[in-house]
Structure 1
């Protein structure tokens, strides 16, 4: 097998030839056709993630065919087209992950490789309307977007939704999911091109969050919003409090801009706002997300596909956040 391996921080991944994998117990070997990048992969290369270990095969998203299996019932997966749930050992409480929770792709060897060893419990049938590249773009971002919108955000048809920082994998899938669920959606970005792309995919309006009064413009054109899906935090968080309708919900699945320097609790309690945290999601969330994707025939937006040996080029593109949708890798040897 071939694998792109991280051996030190702030250094390119190296493509290594390794021994082919062998299944054991309830685990199977998946011959990967495609993988996808997440912001997590870039953060790990920069040392901005806890518990980094070397060497590490990064990559949380993958799709392929089960090529080897040993014991029953894992053998029933032989030859089947699959995608992988990247959230392992969630625990028994659906409200939050347990202390043993792990994400595929460090410390567990991930999908930036030609094959991977996966316990059968984390396998799911690849949606038949998706090709391998589209399927690989779905797992981590789709799970995160689904939990933020539905499990935590309690989205209902006809509600007004803001998705901030449109362009990344989670945000673009949240846009697609919210539109499919019958919501009215607006987005923010600092890129006019990304805003235009979001409108093509169903957003009603888009606003440059660096604008002097984008909240006033949004309120006038669209009105106050019931649900906000945000991954930034930072200084812009105060604008979200202004745009949220009374009784509205703000769900955060990240804080790329850091903590808000000032949280106006007066607005929080006077407007009866709900501030909610969210992560990737439980096994039930993953199954429900796949059902939703199959029901609505949703296809993740793929910005670009590169060969496995160009993984460093893909990571560099993620560094500059120029993509709209997912960056994927062709893992076929």
Structure 2
């Protein structure tokens, strides 16, 4: 099978197309003929952090939607021809406070989804929402699951609350915007890009401001209940400074520096809640798919690249040109 592979060199230079052996099929596994695979910043991190040129060939990618090509002898959930999406999380079945030991994400250390075929156990596959195209379903799993757990499970967002999404434009945050509006919450976004601010308003955001502005001044009339923070050091204290006393900051990423300093006295006097969040369980993956179906939510699909244009796709992701999700058509 044809696959996008990382080997031989570090960083993006190590990416190339290669013929790889099609994955074998075990008794409880499903073999998926991949139509579209979504791209995530994790994919960029995987290929840029593999420092040794001697590392074995790896197929990156965590998201996939396609058609069941074959099923193992003990598979009961699916038949050949079913349209499915793959759960990018491995080893986290029940909803819990944190992932269990051994939890991994598809695409490292084992092969991922940027190939013509992807194989996994049937409990890591779900039926594709009928209202979505393959392109939409292919960019759904990782980012939508991350947004769902951060907002709904960890943040416990309610319809009468206001949520702030700093740095709008990523796949996760465009999902968070759509999910929050779907339950009736008020949504404020920030971006350094005026164009992305305008796009967010068109998607339903109630207010858009510059990430570099004085949030305390800009949002003086707002009561922010929850901040979904994914930028890190550059905005963390601004996020903590704008959330209401007793409010919550949920963090799932750090696109700037990881380490932050806070005034701990101000924090405990303000009765703030700081929650970490990563991906989600298989239970939450199914909840998210049901939510997306019931609310008829469509992913914000920025661009789908042909498989042969993988280098352009990775550079597009690296340069944060996207508003919403990027996909690879395989």
TM-score, normalised relative to structure 2: 0.95
Native 8 Å contact 1:60 1:103 kept in 2: yes
CA drift at 1:77: 2.9
Alignment partner, residue 130 of structure 2: 128
The gaps in structure 1 that reach 5 residues or longer are: none
CA drift at 1:255: 1.6
Matched, 1:109 2:111: yes
Alignment of 1:180-195 (within 5 A): 180-195=182-197
Q: Distance in 2 between matches of 1:77 and 1:268?
A: 53
Alignment partner, residue 291 of structure 2: 292
CA drift at 1:318: 0.8
Alignment partner, residue 216 of structure 1: 217
CA drift at 1:112: 0.7
Native 8 Å contact 1:236 1:260 kept in 2: no
What is the root-mean-square deviation of aligned Cα atoms in Å?
Answer: 1.8
The gaps in structure 2 that reach 5 residues or longer are: none
Alignment of 1:25-64 (within 5 A): 25-47=27-49, 54-64=56-66
Alignment partner, residue 85 of structure 1: 87
Native 8 Å contact 1:25 1:70 kept in 2: yes
Cα gap change, 1:92/1:303 in structure 2, threshold over 3 Å: closer, same or farther? closer
Native 8 Å contact 2:5 2:16 kept in 1: yes
Q: Distance in 1 between matches of 2:77 and 2:318?
A: 40
Query: What is the total number of aligned residue pairs between the two structures?
Result: 327
Matched, 1:274 2:276: no
Native 8 Å contact 1:28 1:74 kept in 2: no
Q: Distance in 2 between matches of 1:237 and 1:22?
A: 46
Cα gap change, 1:227/1:170 in structure 2, threshold over 3 Å: closer, same or farther? same
For residues 107-128 of structure 1, the C-alpha deviation after alignment (integer angstroms, 9 at most, x for no partner) is 1211111111111111100000
Native 8 Å contact 1:12 1:312 kept in 2: no
TM-score, normalised relative to structure 1: 0.94
Question: Which one is further off, 12-21 or 82-91?
Answer: 12-21
Question: Which one is further off, 129-138 or 66-75?
Answer: 66-75
Native 8 Å contact 2:27 2:75 kept in 1: no
Local SS of the residue matching 1:300: coil
Native 8 Å contact 1:53 1:106 kept in 2: no
Alignment partner, residue 155 of structure 2: 153
Alignment partner, residue 309 of structure 2: 310
Q: Distance in 2 between matches of 1:183 and 1:48?
A: 40
Cα gap change, 1:110/1:74 in structure 2, threshold over 3 Å: closer, same or farther? farther
Local SS of the residue matching 2:227: strand
Question: Which one is further off, 5-14 or 69-78?
Answer: 69-78
Question: Which one is further off, 290-299 or 202-211?
Answer: 202-211
For residues 116-145 of structure 1, the C-alpha deviation after alignment (integer angstroms, 9 at most, x for no partner) is 111111110000000000001110000000
Native 8 Å contact 1:253 1:278 kept in 2: yes
